[in-house]
Structure 1
Amino acid sequence: MQCRICGSEGEHSVYTAKEMMLGLRDEHRYFQCGACGCLQIELIPENLAAYYPSNYYSYSSPHTTHKLKQELLKRRDYYAVTGKSLLGHVLSLAAPNQKLSSLRPLELKQDARILDVGCGAGLLLNSLKEAGFTQLLGIDPFNAASIHYPNGLTIEKRDIFSETGEWDVIMFHHSFEHLVEQQPTLKQAHQLLAKQGTVLLRVPTVSSYAWQHYGVNWSQLDAPRHLFLHSVDSIKKLAEQTGFTVSQIQYDSNAFQFWGSEQYEQDIALRSEQSWAENPANSSFTAAQIKQFEHRARELNALNKGDQAAFYLRKAS
């Protein structure tokens, strides 16, 4: 087997993982490159689209909320991106928006040109739009159709290879690991990115405690939807191949790496009625345990051992 990232044909570790989000439990073989560490699916299923049902989480549209709640969410989300707004800070302590917080290191102005690739229904972009950011576009070829929101946000049904504009930020929020064409996608992003722009990859990573501890029961392996589970080294290798350097890494894992993985060890699917995600009252976990998992996740993030991270890519000099 040849690694699709670094090309190594050396000794690779082989694993068999079950589909456990939907609970199908069919088996898929993965191998982890002995050179760059990238864990990747051996054979991409021909019927891959069948593993993305109509109720897949990224297809969910924004919920209509009370005007006061909408205003509070705007303040929280504006703070998440900019670090400004005292009220937003207080609201973030209670209910942080981790996805938007990954944009704060970019110090974005509200007219920054932002492209979100593989955005599904565009929940994150809609939050940015409501928070006052103006030049936004989402693209996702797997949506049923293009989406036009009342606030002017557009989500287009297409992929990055049909894009021709110039962007200050090109984001992949847990979409990059689903893509077959890893190098071509980043090369296209390089062409579309402004000179001082940033590509943001938020992905699960095998450079983590969760992969080391849970192995094939790691909840973010997510066979067979996740085709590539990158290591820090394989992301750096991929960046080098496509004209980028990794300027920063920010770990942002959460409690899911624990309760999801422990459910899988007990053969409980994510969509099961016994799952914390579906029905906490039927789950084997208590709210106190989930809080402990969140605390442990923060500790792992501080140690650069969380199971997901934001990688900030800048054009190489």
Structure 2
Amino acid sequence: MVCKDHLVSGEKFNILEYENGILKTDPFPENLEKYYESDEYISHKDSSSSIQDKIYHLVKSYMLSRKAKWIRKNIKHGRILDFGAGTGEFLNKMKSYYWDVEGVEPNKFARDLGILKGLNLKSSIVEVENKDFDVISLWHVLEHLPDLDQKLIEFKDLLVKDGLLIIAVPNYNSYDSKYYKENWAAWDVPRHLWHFSRDGLRDKISKLGFELIDEKPLKFDSFYVSLLSEKNSDSSTNPLNAFYRGYISNLRANSTGEYSSIAYFFKKA
């Protein structure tokens, strides 16, 4: 499949098989940073200008509480590292439950916003001095990492025994992916370097010595991704069709488990 960068460059990239159930973007750009240089890249800012942005932040605010609840169901209190922390809203939520929080955010603009909130954010994982985290979370981050295999090993080393590795990623076997095909917004090339199926991700993490203990569907993602995909398809967003496709995606996934995005909870053995 060939997909277009609809956000920044207009360039086209190939989607190739990497491992069973895992695809990769080809080629990897030499300078990834320039592909994030857009006012529309919403996860690196706090402001809401368009209706689309307002919807995103409204859902994001609701999901912060949901994510914290999911974690606290397994571990009531402890130390958490959020990798790809953005502007730090999730860490602030965990901090409100008296967790010891630390984050890594490579983007300077987003990191500076988080630091202004009083958070301990680093620019890279090598700057993380403390180890023995009870939880490491990556909310729509793993797909962005060039050194995928190396980072997974590093995350394992930073976790305590029975610690949780939480990974949320899009699922290319979802209905909305099949419907929108190359215009599916969650391909998001070249910012998304990796693309996962449920089986592909679960198998890869399990081989590192983790046990899958839970999956949580991110049901709002199907609607948001469909809305962006409509824009990619013909440059004129159709919110009614986007809502319908998001609804159908979740409806079908109720029986198949193939949601648009899924949060996986892995326990370190």
The TM-score with structure 1 as length reference comes to: 0.70
Distance in 2 (CA, whole Å) between partners of 1:95 and 1:161 is 28
Distance in 2 (CA, whole Å) between partners of 1:284 and 1:233 is 32
256-265 or 154-163, which moves further after superposition? 154-163
> Where has structure 1 moved over 4 Å in runs of 4 or more?
144-147, 160-163, 289-294
2:254 to 280, 289, 302: 302
Q: Structure 1: state its 5+ residue gaps.
A: 1-14, 64-91, 269-273, 275-282
Distance in 1 (CA, whole Å) between partners of 2:245 and 2:177 is 16
Matches within 5 A, 1:134-153: 134-144=99-109, 147-150=114-117, 152-153=118-119
Distance in 2 (CA, whole Å) between partners of 1:95 and 1:148 is 20
1:41–1:291 Cα change, 3 Å: closer
1:285 aligns with 239
Q: Is the partner of 1:128 in helix, strand or coil?
A: helix
Distance in 1 (CA, whole Å) between partners of 2:23 and 2:122 is 31
Matches within 5 A, 1:1-317: 15-22=1-8, 24-33=9-18, 36-53=20-37, 55=39, 56-61=41-46, 97-106=62-71, 107=73, 111-129=77-95, 131-144=96-109, 147-150=114-117, 152-159=118-125, 162-254=128-220, 255-266=223-234, 268=235, 283-285=237-239, 292=244, 295-303=247-255, 304-316=257-269
192-201 or 108-117, which moves further after superposition? 108-117
Distance in 2 (CA, whole Å) between partners of 1:27 and 1:37 is 22
The letter of the residue matching 2:7 is: M
The letter of the residue matching 1:285 is: P
Residues 134-189 of structure 1, C-alpha deviation per residue, up to 9 Å, x if partnerless? 31111112324654345x42222222674442111100011110001112111111
Distance in 1 (CA, whole Å) between partners of 2:261 and 2:136 is 18
1:135–1:62 Cα change, 3 Å: farther
Distance in 1 (CA, whole Å) between partners of 2:120 and 2:60 is 26
Residues 85-137 of structure 1, C-alpha deviation per residue, up to 9 Å, x if partnerless? xxxxxxx9x997224423433316664211100112112212333x3333111
Distance in 2 (CA, whole Å) between partners of 1:29 and 1:95 is 30
The letter of the residue matching 1:148 is: I
- Is the contact between residue 131 and residue 158 of structure 2 (CA under 8 Å) also seen in structure 1? yes
The letter of the residue matching 1:309 is: I
- Is the contact between residue 230 and residue 242 of structure 2 (CA under 8 Å) also seen in structure 1? no
Q: How many residues align?
A: 253
1:10 aligns with none
Distance apart, 1:245 and its partner CA = 2.2
Distance apart, 1:260 and its partner CA = 1.8
Distance in 2 (CA, whole Å) between partners of 1:208 and 1:159 is 32
Distance in 2 (CA, whole Å) between partners of 1:246 and 1:108 is 13
Distance apart, 1:211 and its partner CA = 2.0
Distance in 2 (CA, whole Å) between partners of 1:44 and 1:308 is 23
Residues 231-259 of structure 1, C-alpha deviation per residue, up to 9 Å, x if partnerless? 11211222133221222222213202322
- Is the contact between residue 198 and residue 258 of structure 2 (CA under 8 Å) also seen in structure 1? no
139-148 or 217-226, which moves further after superposition? 139-148
The letter of the residue matching 1:305 is: E
Q: Is the partner of 1:148 in helix, strand or coil?
A: helix
1:207–1:121 Cα change, 3 Å: same
Distance in 2 (CA, whole Å) between partners of 1:181 and 1:300 is 34
The letter of the residue matching 1:58 is: S
Residues 271-315 of structure 1, C-alpha deviation per residue, up to 9 Å, x if partnerless? xxx5xxxxxxxx5435xx665455435424423122110011111
Instruction: Please give the root-mean-square deviation of Cα atoms over the aligned residues, in Å.
Output: 2.8
Distance apart, 1:54 and its partner CA = 5.9
Q: Which one has the largest radius of gyration?
A: 1
Q: Structure 2: state its 5+ residue gaps.
A: 49-57
The letter of the residue matching 1:177 is: E
- Is the contact between residue 227 and residue 238 of structure 2 (CA under 8 Å) also seen in structure 1? no
The TM-score with structure 2 as length reference comes to: 0.82
1:297–1:149 Cα change, 3 Å: farther
